[in-house]
Amino acid sequence: MKHLIFIVVIFFYFGVQAQFSNLAPSKPTTDVYFGNTVIDDYRNLENLQDSKVLEWMQSQTSYTNSLLNKIPNRNYYVEKRLELDKKQGYSISDLKITNNNKYFYLKKNAEEKTAKVYYKNAFHGQEILLYDPFSAGDNDIVTLISPSWDGNKLAISLSKKGKEISRIIIMDVESKHVYPQVINQTNAGSVGGIKWLGDNSGFFYIYYPIVDITSNLFGKNTQSILYKIGDDPNKRNDIFSSTNNPDLRISNDVAPAILTFNSNDQYYIGMLVDAEDFRETFIIEKKNLLNNKKNWKKLYKKNDKVFYIRLFGDDLYFLSGYNSPNFKLCKTNIKNPDFKNPEILVSEKKDEVIGGYVINKDGIYFTTIKNGVEAKLYLKKDKKEIPIKLPYVSGSVNLQSKGKDFSDIWITCSGWINEEQRFRYNLNDSTFTPENLSPIIEYPEFKDIAVEELSIKSRDGKEIPLSLIYNKNFIKDGLNPTLIDAYGAYGISRSPFFAKSYLLWASQGGIVAIAHVRGGGEKGETWHLDGYKETKFNSWHDLIDCTEYLIKEGYTSKDKTAIWGTSAGGITVGRAMTERPDLFKAAIVEVGMINMLRFENTPNGEGNIKEFGTVKKLNEFKNLLEMDAYHHIKKGIKYPATLITGGINDNRVIVWQPTKFAAKLMACNVSKNPILLKIDYEGGHGNNIPISQRYSGLSDIFTFTFWQLGHPDYQPK
């Protein structure tokens, strides 16, 4: 037995040595920012046209796969997830209900690779298959469906290989006829969507002039296009853009989007979409826009702090962050709008952040969230706020209605260990009637999983929410493999959802911790701004403080702790592991933003300046350097085992960002811990891929982490 262990150790030792002999080519570049000299050792890896760069990325991916293949249970997670999917039978997503009660949705059967488009007339109507992307022969993923107001036509957005750039096809619902015209070079599933004209004759969408994600012009100078069904899609009618509306001074890094709310609206809203919640917005009369007039008027500015707007007649409803970081629900008249002193419908609450709301015939239903994890539901009616008891304790609640002229209201509830359920609410008798399109089943394998919601005091005295998911029979002996997931950016809250990935980890004896670090929105806009630009360090300090708490209290230990960050969470995790490499046994940086000094030089960079800053300003340069994990890697340091992933088609975090981080970490690390790079050559930022492909990526993350944290079922034999 000892001889076998020795062989295994030798294999992995020489495997790591082999990796060290294949370090990335380095051609350092020196930059000077405001008198500060910064050396970039791997600037050459940004050239994705260089065959040597591509060969190194491929060789590292092959090496990572070969190493992971030696680990038992590598496929446990993907196989278990597919087994659970089979048990459930099918799943439903992207549900759209028209005012005349037509249901459109995506449905994926367990054995199917991708979801198909279905339709039925009313909830209990007969289910009809409308479109199967796989049988169409294009190997596409449906990223969005958008029915016309009358439900007679359906626009379908399609993409492939993780790309967010998509094309749109249009179907006649009754005949299932697909129109021959195809709209290309859009991003309907992510930005702007598809907004139908009131007469159902066409729609608005956003056009991308440049779709090469390696180009710095990608995502720039986008246009809102008015498309009429049957017209030539190549003769684009640009109705809202920097080119069409030079007097509006629209910058090239925002997406000018048209918003519509009701078929009979007499106005269109034009919004400049960027990474922030508060956006510059314009308004125009519908008749003027449709007659090719350009007399847009400024509706509100960024500093009015308006978002989540809804238009009904001349009344504009919105959430306001103006002097209210937990937000208040307001109303103003668009003919004489006042966003600084509007009519306040729901005042700001002290410990609850106002989230979603819908307006129907009975009043205004709205939700709040406390610490990002405790959801509540209210009805504002006759100037009273009426609390509504939910069917079960929920971590998140979503609302759906038909609009102001209808009483229909649907409430969808979920939590860390509660599967998402959808209910129709009846105000007359205060009852919730289940209207689930997906089957609700029992999961006996998760019956012993428990959730604990904590509040951890940070080094500066702030209370950091921390969610724990574990087997209720665990012991605080410091031996529990613990995976800490952290994000902290854009004011986005990590709200609870039925996370089978977390539950599977916990069912194998591990603890999952979700650190609700600053930069997110769990405690309102103040929480966001406390992890933003010059205060961004709070994001990774909160993660470090949460980790130290879990170790101190015996939940885990340094050798049993891994941290995991995705996308902007790469900043949080990357800086935590470079500031405190001694505190973690492993780290996972999944498609992570990791080289922030260079991020504005990426296709998605300019749009993120508002969130993180620019190197063109001295103070913001210093902030970016501080949050740049790549530049905080130092030679001679023992770093944790690290798995770094990227997507070849990722337009949000260009693939050279994780590649550079991996290259430098490999060169500087002096521990025997593996530093692995894995590029998904059939994917992008993690979305718009077959679900089995996503499961496979998560399976690798879990395999790597359990291996490094010493789980006996994941040790090479």
Tell me the pLDDT band of 216, cut-offs 50, 70 and 90.
Answer: confident
- Give backbone dihedrals phi and psi of 237, rounded to 5 degrees, phi first: -95, 90
Give per-residue pLDDT as tens, 246-261: 999 999 999 999 999 9
Per-residue b or e along 399-419, where b marks 16 or more CB atoms closer than 10 Å to that residue's CB: bbbbbbeeebbbbbbbbbbbb
Tell me the pLDDT band of 136, cut-offs 50, 70 and 90.
Answer: low
Give per-residue pLDDT as tens, 484-502: 999 999 999 999 999 999 9
Percent of the chain predicted with pLDDT > 70: 97
**Per-residue H/E/C for 87-116:** HHCEEEEEEEECCCCEEEEEEEECCCCCCE
The CA distance from 272 to 251, in Å, is 9
Measured between alpha carbons, how far is residue 618 from residues 321, 594, 605, 614 in Å?
Answer: 28, 20, 18, 9
Averaged pLDDT for residues 510-529: 97
Tell me the pLDDT band of 388, cut-offs 50, 70 and 90.
Answer: very high
**What residues contact 28, with CB distance under 8 A and at least 6 apart?**
39, 40, 41, 43
pLDDT over 80 at 20, yes or no: no
The CA distance from 26 to 294, in Å, is 52
pLDDT over 80 at 342, yes or no: yes
* Whether this model's pTM surpasses 0.75: yes
- 684: helix, strand or coil: coil
The residue type found at 383 is K
Better pLDDT: 715 or 14: 715
User: Are 240 and 224 a contacting pair, CB within 8 Å?
Assistant: yes
The CA distance from 682 to 692, in Å, is 12
For the chain, how many residues are written?
A: 717
pLDDT over 90 at 194, yes or no: yes
With 0-12 CB in 10 A as exposed, 13-18 as middle and 19+ as buried, what is 48? middle
The CA distance from 251 to 563, in Å, is 37
The CA distance from 10 to 131, in Å, is 53
The CA distance from 714 to 68, in Å, is 10
pLDDT over 80 at 1, yes or no: no
H or E element in which residue 270 lies = strand 267-273
pLDDT at 135: 81
pLDDT over 90 at 19, yes or no: no
Q: Could you give the strand order of the β-sheet that contains 561-566, starting from the edge strand earlier in sequence?
A: 449-457, 463-471, 511-515, 482-486, 561-566, 586-590, 641-647, 675-680
Strands (E), 482-567: 482-486, 511-515, 561-566
pLDDT over 80 at 58, yes or no: yes
With 0-12 CB in 10 A as exposed, 13-18 as middle and 19+ as buried, what is 1? exposed
Chain mean position to CA 290 = 34
Which of 13-27, 189-203, 448-462 has the lowest average pLDDT? 13-27
- Give backbone dihedrals phi and psi of 433, rounded to 5 degrees, phi first: -110, 120
pLDDT at 9: 43
- Give backbone dihedrals phi and psi of 66, rounded to 5 degrees, phi first: -65, -35
Averaged pLDDT for residues 579-594: 98
Averaged pLDDT of the chain: 95
pLDDT over 70 at 2, yes or no: no
With 0-12 CB in 10 A as exposed, 13-18 as middle and 19+ as buried, what is 54? middle
The CA distance from 641 to 662, in Å, is 11
Closest CA to 354 of 400, 314, 297, 308: 308
- Cβ neighbours around 456 below 10 Å, total: 19
Tell me the pLDDT band of 413, cut-offs 50, 70 and 90.
Answer: very high
pLDDT at 110: 94
Tell me the pLDDT band of 138, cut-offs 50, 70 and 90.
Answer: low
pLDDT over 90 at 414, yes or no: yes
